[in-house]
Amino acid sequence: MTDSSMTASPAEPRKVEPRKVSMIGLGVMGGAIARHIAEAGHELTIFNRTPQRAQKWAEDNPGLAHRIAANPAHAAQDAEVVITCVGNDDDLADVVLGPNGVFRMLKKGGVFIDHTTVSARIARQISVEARDLQIHCVDAPMTGSQIGAENGTLTLMCGGRKDAIEAARPVMESYSQRIVHVGKAGSGQIAKMANQICIAGNVAALAEAVRFAQASHLDMDKVYEAISGGAAQSWQMDNRWQSMDQDEFDFGFAIDWMRKDLGLSLEEGRGLGVSLPVAALIDQFFADIQAMGGGRLDTSAIIKRLPKKGRK
């Protein structure tokens, strides 16, 4: 059994007609996306709200950044495409709609792509503002984890008009392998919420299965071999069974971020009149891990709330 992060090979850079692209947000995901954009031949401008991170990115990736912007508006100046990957609704509203926001400078006919996982409400609000400015707008939360960003194999769930998706596609193809137009503005965010609900349920059930097998003193590799080829198989099982068994929880997507995402899902569910009892319960399980000081561990650390027990 191997972790996909050890076996996946980087995607070949995809060469397209060069565009002037600005990347706002250089965290784990955004920083990797920025590299693919530059390597595809686009003229890259970068900005991060913590200036030191932008400077470090430029030093770590010599020659890839055409310039480092002073603020989001400066990043949008002369840009054809602006991409954001920040933290939450407030962060996104500030960098896009604030006094020094992207929409102060992004020109008519420009393309705005947001990869932040946020509420459908803010995605729709930004889309309305973009429409009034005659800017193509796409909400495109992503899945594929850190390794997907590094290898340029992300899946993007896109909301917005068809013409906006097509205008954004040539740049998005430089760092993704699947681009799905889900529906109108905000639909990408709804799809991402459904994705996170599935992941939460899957990883919680996997944690119980691992502890159950451990308590029975079974050969964990043999159990994995036996059950991973049938209906129980999942990405979480293939990539986290062994690491859960070995108490290793440093694989990228943190519990703090999952709780943010589940909170968005539960809020949207209430607005739709949809009950999400399993998601609500697992959200509390993740809260238990946060209370133990494990908020920055990856989501598979949910197993830590289940003590190991030996069979007598």
User: Over the stretch 23-75, which tens digit does the pLDDT of each residue have?
Assistant: 999 999 999 999 999 999 999 999 999 999 999 999 999 999 999 999 999 99
- Give CATH 3.40.50.720 domain extents, the chain: 4-184
**Lowest-pLDDT range of 2-6, 38-42, 117-121, 307-311:** 2-6
Give the whole-angstrom CA distance, residue 298 versus residue 211: 18
Question: Which residue in the list 192, 308, 309, 312 is annotated as catalytic?
Answer: 192
Q: Tell me the pLDDT tens digit for each residue of 80-102.
A: 999 999 999 999 999 999 999 99
User: Mean of the pLDDT values across residues 7-21?
Assistant: 63
Residue ranges of the chain that CATH labels 1.10.1040.10: 191-305
How does pLDDT run across 97-129, given as a tens digit for each residue? 999 999 999 999 999 999 999 999 999 999 999
pLDDT tens digits along 227-262? 999 999 999 999 999 999 999 999 878 999 999 999
Arithmetic mean of pLDDT, 174-185: 98
Q: Name the band, by pLDDT with cuts 50, 70 and 90, for residue 147.
A: confident
Residue 139 near residue 189, CB atoms below 8 Å: yes
Looking at the predicted structure, is the pLDDT value of residue 141 above 60? yes
- For the chain, give the percent of residues with pLDDT over 90: 90
Say which amino acid occupies 72.
P
- pLDDT number for residue 17: 87
State how far the Cα of 118 lies from the Cα of 279, in Å rounded to an integer: 17
Determine whether 192 is an active site residue: yes
pLDDT over 80 (residue 282): yes
> Alpha carbon of 231 to those of 53, 179, 192, 234: distances in Å?
43, 27, 23, 8
Segment 284-294 shows an average pLDDT of: 98
Q: Assign 12 a pLDDT band (cuts: 50, 70, 90).
A: low
What CATH fold (topology level) applies to the domain 191-305?
A: N-(1-d-carboxylethyl)-l-norvaline Dehydrogenase; domain 2 (1.10.1040)
Do the Cβ atoms of 80 and 108 come closer than 8 Å?
A: no
The pLDDT of residue 251: 82
| Mean of pLDDT values over 12-29 | 84
State how far the Cα of 12 lies from the Cα of 30, in Å rounded to an integer.
18
Q: What is the mean pLDDT of the chain?
A: 93
Whether 95 and 75 have beta carbons less than 8 Å apart is answered as: no
Integer Cα distance of 283 and 261 in angstroms? 10
Residue 3: the pLDDT is: 38
Q: Tell me what pLDDT residue 121 has.
A: 97
Q: Where are the alpha helices (DSSP H) in the chain?
A: 4-7, 28-39, 51-60, 72-76, 89-97, 120-132, 145-151, 162-172, 187-215, 220-227, 235-245, 255-272, 277-291
Q: Which residues contact 59 (CB under 8 A, 6 or more apart)?
A: none
Distant-in-sequence, close-in-space partners of 129: CB < 8 Å, separation ≥ 6: 96, 97, 103
Superfamily of 4-184 according to CATH: NAD(P)-binding Rossmann-like Domain (3.40.50.720)
Write the DSSP string, 284-295. HHHHHHHHTT-T
DSSP type of residue 298: B
The 3-class secondary structure across 192-259, one letter per residue, is HHHHHHHHHHHHHHHHHHHHHHHHCCCCHHHHHHHHCCCCCCCHHHHHHHHHHHCCCCCCCCEHHHHH
pLDDT band at 16 (very low <50, low <70, confident <90, very high): low
Predicted confidence at residue 271, as pLDDT, reads 95
Q: Strand 154-159 and strand 142-143: pairing?
A: antiparallel
Give the three-class secondary structure for 48: coil
Cα–Cα dist 106/101, whole Å: 9
